Amino acid sequence: MTTPIVRRSNQSSQSKQPERANSLLLASRRFAAWAAEITLVVSSGLIPFGIGVYANTRSDLNRVPLNPVLVVMERAIARPLALPVSYGIRNVAWPTNILWTVALLAPVTLSWWQLYLLAKTGSTIPKRWLKVQVVNEQGMPPGLGAVVIREGVGRWTVPISIAYLLWRYSFAFPNLGLFTFLSLLMILGEGIGLPSRRGRRALHDQLAGTYTIDALLANNKQVQPAGGNDQAEEWQQGNEELAMPTASSVSDAAQTNQPPNVWRRIQQNPNLTLFGVGLTSMTAVLATLIGTQVYIQIQQSQRATNQINSQQFLELVKQLSPNSGATNKERETAILALGGLNDPQSIKFLADLLVSETNSSLLDTIQQALTSVGPKAIPELKNKNQFLVGELEPVSSTATQERELRQGRLQRNQRTINKILSVYSGKIEGVELNSTQLGQSGTPGSSFFNLVLDNVDLSGVKLKSANLNQASFKGSRFRGAGEDGRLDTYDDAIADLSQAQLQQANLTDANLSRVLMNRTDLSRATLNRANLSNARLFEAKLNSTQLVGADLQNAVLEKASLTGADLGDANLNEANLYAARLGRVIAIGTQLSFANLTNTDWEGADLSGAYLDRANLSNANLGATRLTGAVLRSAQMENVNLQNADLSLADLRGANVAGADFKGAILAPSKQDPADQFVQTPDLGSVSAVVQGVDFSKAKNLDPKQLAYICTQGGIHPNCP
């Protein structure tokens, strides 16, 4: 009697080993199937996206506006991930538009296709390859609703939401690398599963009521080994206790252990259900009554306040009437009281009074009252500013007295705006001064107004198409952190200076990072040491502008005009200067590494000692430029015009010069003038490496002297011995 018992005990203990092995094998296959699914989806987007990025670097492709769908998607992604704000609709190569659209649609389409397969068959293509199947409690394919809950809610929404909250409200924000790490950690943790009566099940399986089973064993469960009844019984017992439940065991477990659903509980406890419904209804009615009463009280209080302000306003206006007989002191008191009302009608009255009043002492008081109102007075002052500009234009230049009178009114308005912007520095985000006349104006012999806002925080101010000529913004900030207190996130307060007039303006040491300055006129302006990193200067005018030591890294200067500008020691690494005009530019020691200089015009420029390594100079015009000592390592110089350029001591190693025109170009260093005791020529060892290994076989217009220099210095050409 003891023998079969011992045999069964040994058989049971031995069955645990294949159970553990099979469990590990199934877990490995599940993970491999999941990894393959993610790889397919990600690759379907990354491959066309990467090809699109490459196509966008090609200079021979027409450029078109970015697809609006992509722009909307970009902004929708940027906001929750705290990415830097994106500007408008940028131009890209036409294949890039198509490829990026495919990169957006392909992962979505492939994801839904996999969900459909999972719903109808219980397996995606990778799961089918690896013999993994998902079934419901009846052992059937789960259906679309269960799959959406399983994948959309359980597998992705829940873990990523937890990771996002941990990232958003911790020290990790806004580091995207840490967010990615947290997301992967949560997804893997959710996939490991939680303990249950039937072993570990992932959260997404528990939410959807599904089971992940071994499809191979599920298909072969009816096969039994030949032998006696005891052996068949033991085999069946071991098979049922294997690592995963089969389709039939899932169905049996569902019938025996299925918990009552919500509808069944409602049927079993009707009184409790009625009590809950009644309590919820009473709470909703009570909340509605309280909310209505609060709203009525707020409206009554607001009406009472407006009535009191209207009465005070009428009394104060009577004191300011010409026939009131009030003294200047009483008038000043009434004006300050009007400013204290902070009421729309009082602000409008003060703005009108600022224009019509002639008493100088009262004018100062009016300006003080409007300043006390603060940024709320800006809209009315802006409207009055535009009215005064329109009133000034038709006045003939010969009518000197009338013009000076109207000019004086405009200047009083401008000074008041200037004062408010200065006093409320850092508190004027969103203030709108578009198309406002704040630049120097006036006739010869009359007083001039100069806008002076040095070291002022102008973050978020809207100055689109405003006249700011000869204004002073030394050390001012046009960009600041938003509500999250961190820079380079989506809620940054960034000024808009698009199409503004800033001729001869002083912006030394100003922070213009990421500021929108498309088609802005900065001719002859001073921007020395200014921070213009990531700024948008599309088609901007920077002729004869001083940009010494300025930071223009990653700035967009596409089709901008910088003729005669001084870029000495400026940082333009990775900047986009596509088709920019840079004739006669002084760029001594300028950093232009990795910059996009396709189709740029540098004729007559001085690029001595400039860093142009890995820059894209395809189809650029470098005729008659000075490139002495410039670093052009691995630069793209296809079809570049180098006629009469001075390339002595320039480092061309690794550069692509196919199609480049070297007619009249100077490759060898010129001989030193014996009379010049201060200029020292480097030794031949430092000179010999500048063209070493460079392939000149497709270069154009190389003369015998240039060929001789190329061959002796290690260059490559078919005519070299």
Residue-wise pLDDT for 661-699, tens only, equals: 999 999 876 554 444 444 344 443 444 448 889 999 999
| Residue carrying structure tokens 């078919």 | 718
- Asked if 635 and 610 touch (Cβ cutoff 8 Å), the reply is no
Cis peptide before 174 (omega within 30 of 0): yes
Tell me the C-alpha distance between 65 and 58, whole Å: 16
pLDDT in tens, 166-194: 888 888 887 888 888 888 888 888 877 65
Q: Is residue 305 part of a domain?
A: yes
pLDDT of the residue at 652: 93
Whether residue 449 is predicted with pLDDT greater than 90 in this model: the reply is: no
Using a pLDDT cut of 70, give the percent of the chain over it: 82
Identity (one letter) of the amino acid at 118? L
Residue 403: domain span: 284-424
Tell me the C-alpha distance between 652 and 690, whole Å: 5
Q: Which residues contact 685 (CB under 8 A, 6 or more apart)?
A: none
Q: Is residue 360 part of a domain?
A: yes
- Asked if 527 and 547 touch (Cβ cutoff 8 Å), the reply is yes
pLDDT of the residue at 214: 80
**Helix ranges, 57-175 (H):** 68-78, 94-121, 125-129, 144-147, 158-168
| Residue carrying structure tokens 């350029």 | 645
CB atoms within 10 A of CB 280: 10
pLDDT of the residue at 266: 59
- Asked if 467 and 433 touch (Cβ cutoff 8 Å), the reply is no
Q: Is residue 435 part of a domain?
A: no
pLDDT in tens, 130-154: 888 888 888 888 888 888 888 888 8
Average pLDDT (627-644) is: 94
Q: Is residue 116 part of a domain?
A: no
Q: How many domains does the chain have?
A: 1
pLDDT in tens, 76-88: 888 788 777 666 5
Q: Is residue 379 part of a domain?
A: yes
Tell me the C-alpha distance between 543 and 566, whole Å: 9
Highest average pLDDT, of 26-30, 87-91, 346-350, comes from 346-350
Tell me the C-alpha distance between 51 and 176, whole Å: 24
Average pLDDT (467-487) is: 89
Average pLDDT (521-531) is: 96
Q: Is residue 375 part of a domain?
A: yes
pLDDT of the residue at 687: 45
- Asked if 428 and 462 touch (Cβ cutoff 8 Å), the reply is no
Q: What is the pTM of this model?
A: 0.74
Tell me the C-alpha distance between 134 and 218, whole Å: 11
User: In Å, how far are 450, 562, 580, 621, 665 from 643, measured between CA atoms?
Assistant: 46, 21, 19, 9, 5
pLDDT in tens, 582-594: 999 999 999 999 9
